[in-house]
Amino acid sequence: MKRASDGTRSRMSLSAFPALKNDCMLRAARGEATEWIPVWMMRQAGRYLPEYQEVRKDADFFTMCRTPELACKVSLQPLERFPTLDAVIIFSDILVIPQAMGMEVLMVKGKGPVFPDPLKVPEDIQKLTLKPDIESTLGYVFDAVNLTRERIAGRVPLIGFSGAPFTLMAYMIEGGGSRTLSKAKTWLFKHPEATHKLLQALTDIIVEYLVGKVKAGAQMLQVFESNGGDLTPDHFTEFSLPYLSQIASRVKAAVDVPMTVFARGANQEGALEALASTEYNTISVDWRIEPSDARKRAGNKTLQGNLDPGALYAAPETLRKLVAKMVKGFGTQRYIANLGHGMHPSHDPEMAGNFIDAVHACTN
């Protein structure tokens, strides 16, 4: 790998990459016809893979994110193991953005992400870098994207991603994962002005970050609003939707790329319908909605999802039947098969392979 004198990688330009051989997923996202159903899994690069654990045992999680060679290596692991996968997602985390804003985030074994000094009161926003220099704070992600696109060598498209503003804000206030979101909800109910200020600052960063990923080599983007389902319909409309929508419009004004929104659990009255009126190409849904119902509510958008990750604990024959039922509900066109959320650390990799095969066995 070439390195510039300041230690950063000199990136390959987009025109230098080999032509894409399997563009099935990009076509599905754009609403074009596909000969088979494209499939990938959220969290496909991660703890259920022994080869991931092997790399992870010698490296801290965020060191892996910050080291392009390591991030590239684990991003490619699912494709090496399952060559019929239709996409690779770059290995990183949504919490690199709060880090770029100056917050400390640790990955604690058995617990997940922890912020030692979360935001407590609206005045704490002053302590953040609201307009960080994206290249100097997150350029390592662009380096990882660029290297991974090079090493995929045109086999499948590379997906870049970001957390959505409300989900990132919730982590920054809760200081980690939370069941009730009591602290973040206190802000929504008590400090709506400060909340909007923070959400807008996050939106501005996310837009520049996602555009940067595309310029570095990402061929598709996904925005994760993992806490979207925790909001009331009114709060979803006020604190999530406008920012999600802004992200799609502004990124698309800058770069031509298919975009997916995953507002986990956001099946509230009107939420899917509203997402269908944004500029995202694809709406990713979780397992709490019937595929046929999602079709009725999501207009002519491409849909992604939504097998219960728990189904990967079933017998292989049962898994095949569940996949066939899911495909019957979504149909084979304008559809990207995925789980309703990510792979679990306790999943058997063999069942991930069975899931991919079961999807590809469903034909038009």
For position 89 contacting ligand 1CP by CB under 6 A, the verdict is yes
Would you mind telling me the total number of residues written for the chain in this entry? 364
For position 252 contacting ligand 1CP by CB under 6 A, the verdict is no
For position 44 contacting ligand 1CP by CB under 6 A, the verdict is yes
Q: Is 209 a catalytic residue?
A: no
Contacts 24+ apart (CB under 8 A), 94-97: 94/161, 94/162, 94/163, 94/167, 94/168, 94/171, 94/224, 94/226, 95/163, 95/168, 95/171, 96/62, 96/65, 96/138, 96/141, 97/138, 97/162, 97/163, 97/168, 97/202, 97/205, 97/206, 97/209
Cis, peptide link before residue 306, omega less than 30° from 0: yes
Q: Is 357 a catalytic residue?
A: no
For position 82 contacting ligand 1CP by CB under 6 A, the verdict is no
Find the catalytic residue in 48, 140, 171, 280.
171
Find the catalytic residue in 9, 11, 27, 56.
56
Per-residue burial over 131-154, b if 16 or more Cβ lie within 10 Å, else e, is: ebebeebbbbbbbbbbbbbbbbee
When the beta carbons of 171 and 295 are compared against ligand 1CP, the nearer one is 171
Q: How far is the CB of 321 from ligand 1CP (least distance, A)?
A: 26
How many residues line the site for ligand 1CP (CB under 6 A)? 23
Q: How far is the CB of 118 from ligand 1CP (least distance, A)?
A: 14
Place of tokens 């509900």: 329
Q: Which stretch binds ligand 1CP (CB under 6 A): 17-25, 42-50, 210-218, 251-259?
A: 42-50
Main-chain phi, psi angles of 120, to 5 degrees = -110, -45
- Whose CA is closest to 107, among 92, 90, 129? 92
Q: Is 56 a catalytic residue?
A: yes
- The token duo for 331 is 């149909």
**For residues 88 and 148, is the Cβ–Cβ distance under 8 A?**
yes
Residue 305: strand, helix, or coil = strand
Q: Is 171 a catalytic residue?
A: yes
For position 46 contacting ligand 1CP by CB under 6 A, the verdict is yes
Rounded to an integer, what distance in angstroms lies between the CA atom of residue 182 and that of residue 246? 26
Among residues 36, 161, 280, 335, which is the contact residue for ligand 1CP, using CB under 6 A?
A: 161
x-or-dash pattern for ligand 1CP, window 52-71, by CB under 6 A?
A: ----x----x----------
For position 87 contacting ligand 1CP by CB under 6 A, the verdict is no
For position 349 contacting ligand 1CP by CB under 6 A, the verdict is no
For position 226 contacting ligand 1CP by CB under 6 A, the verdict is yes
Q: Is 47 a catalytic residue?
A: yes
When the beta carbons of 31 and 177 are compared against ligand 1CP, the nearer one is 177
Which are the catalytic amino acids?
Answer: 43, 47, 56, 93, 171
The residue ranges that bind ligand 1CP (CB under 6 A) are: 42-47, 56, 61, 89, 91-95, 107, 112-113, 161, 177, 224, 226, 264, 342
